[in-house]
A and B are shown apart, each in its own frame.
Chain A
Amino acid sequence: MMVSKGIENTDFVMPKDAYDIGKDMPTFNAYLTIIVRDSEGKIVKVHRQRSHSPTFNFISLFLPLQYFINCNCGVSVENTGGSTNGFIPCASSGCGNISYPNTATNAPTYLVMIQVGSGSQSNPYSAYKLASPIANGSGSGQLVYGTPSVSPSIYVSGNSAYFTISQTFNNSSGGTVTITEVGIITQVQITYSNSTNTVNFGQLLVWYDVLSSSISVPNGGSVTIYYTFTVNP
């Protein structure tokens, strides 16, 4: 079990009378681990940093019912195309909520990809798309996107628990491709339990990070990006 060395540096958000029990690592953390391989498959770089930024979309979708009851309001999420949709979940059959697998109908809400880009933006929380997405392909400046993978379960070790999301990208562009931003894109559909109607919110950026240092992927090489979400690390 790790204890943060940085706890003395907690900023003004830390209450002055917060009680130190000697285990002050934040109870939740997210990390980015990026592994770059050359054209022969050898690891040439491992990059690690904290992942900082759930987006407005994520927080809006994560809120519990009581939030919407208290404010008597909805939230508006924005997809990567810039279109917005209102979201007002509730617990009655006429309400639109996040779709759940159902053998008779299929309106999937699913992880689309980890997307990489070559830009940056200063306010990750309000981001709804990457600043400069790197296209999927083998043209100049492009990367071939692999299929995203998610842990089949949550791994528990002592008091810690975690799961990962990962994806590999191959560089067949003929030149080095540089990554400076990373995000998680999820397709969200809303369904109604009293009908087969659906509302497709489209692809939403739910998590976004600007890398602390850029990542260069050599021609013929690959990069694998791991997002790790953990409690009590």
Chain B
Amino acid sequence: MVTPDLASEEDIAKLIIPDDLPNDEPSFKAYVEAKVYDKEGHLIQHHRQPMRSLTQYFLALMSIPLIGTYQGASTNSATGILTNVLGLPSAITGNSNSANIVWNWSIQLGSGTQNFSPSLTSLAAPILNGTGAGELSYGTLSVSRAGAMIFVSVTVYNLTSSAITVTEIGLQGTVIIQYSSGNKSTYNFLLSYDTFSTAVSVPASGMAVFQITLSFTG
């Protein structure tokens, strides 16, 4: 195949047409899953659907193990992706020790809906952690792996007297830059956003397990 010359990354991007590659197995699959239990512990709903919408912040986070945090071996500045997309500092200043970066994830549930954008920063109507009306009590996040698959799940308990309907779910990321023996700067991002194709209703005194599966199938 011969094409005209290519001038920019945009030209390259235009060369990438997924429909051109119908026999090439996708490299990534992701799912959102919910299991709902009544107050007696019986499974009353099991819902699974493909995850549809990772944000640009997910890409930025995965750039860290992919291309590192520095622009190069002799350039003591953070990559453009980290500064421009995540808003992280170009470098930590005034710190005689070293600086480092680490991150964590969490699952946020919500009761609203909104159109997706790669720049979304929050759910439309997050369900708060608590026991008040319309709130769910969030358990500890669980993260495990099996090969190139990562499983992220959280158990929520409805300690209110009414059913609570969950319509949206997001994977949230918290990036922490540590420096100077205990000082930290924390940044929060929405890594994915999905609305459930069928609302998930958690009954009073019931519980539910929400799981996000990220599979780099290779």
Contacts and interface: CB of A to CB of B under 8 A. Distances in A.
B29 interface: yes
Nearest to A228: B16
Interface residues of A, number: 112
Interface stretch (B36-44, B126-134, B179-187, B200-208): B179-187
A91 B150 CA distance: 21
B21 to A, nearest CB: 6
A166 B13 CA distance: 12
Contacts of B23: 6
Contacts of A193: 97-100, 178-183
A163 B84 CA distance: 12
Nearest to B147: A125
A14 B23 CA distance: 17
A147 to B, nearest CB: 9
Contacts of A15: 31, 33, 48-49
A172 interface: no
B27 A51 contact: yes
A208 to B, nearest CB: 9
Contact of A97 (B46, B61, B63, B101): B101
Interface string B4-45: 111001101101111111111111111101000000000000
Which bracket fits the contact residues of B?
35 or more
Contact of B16 (A33, A64, A70): A33
Contact of A19 (B49, B84, B147): B49
Given A63-B150, A67-B145, A159-B53, A46 B99 contact: no
Nearest to A77: B65
B2 A66 contact: no
A111 interface: yes
Contact of B27 (A17, A19, A29): A29
A102 B91 contact: yes
Interface string B94-105: 111111111111
A131 interface: no
Contacts of A106: 76
A53 B169 CA distance: 27
A112 B73 CA distance: 8
B187 to A, nearest CB: 12
Contacts of B55: 161, 231
Given A35-B6, A111-B68, A159-B116, A93 B178 contact: yes
Contacts of B147: 125
Interface in A98-128: 98-112, 124-125
Given A28-B28, A97-B102, A101-B76, A17 B13 contact: no
A25 interface: yes
B59 A231 contact: yes
A123 B17 CA distance: 26
Contacts of B52: 21, 23, 27, 232
Contacts of B161: none
A187 interface: yes
A191 B98 contact: yes
Contacts of A186: 65-68
Contact of B102 (A46, A50, A65): A65
B85 interface: yes
A96 B28 contact: no
B86 to A, nearest CB: 10
B71 interface: yes
A171 interface: no
8 contacts: A2-B19, A17-B47, A19-B49, A31-B16, A50-B21, A98-B101, A150-B80, A191-B100
Given A62-B61, A63-B150, 8 more contacts: A27-B28, A31-B16, A33-B16, A61-B64, A97-B101, A98-B68, A229-B66, A231-B53
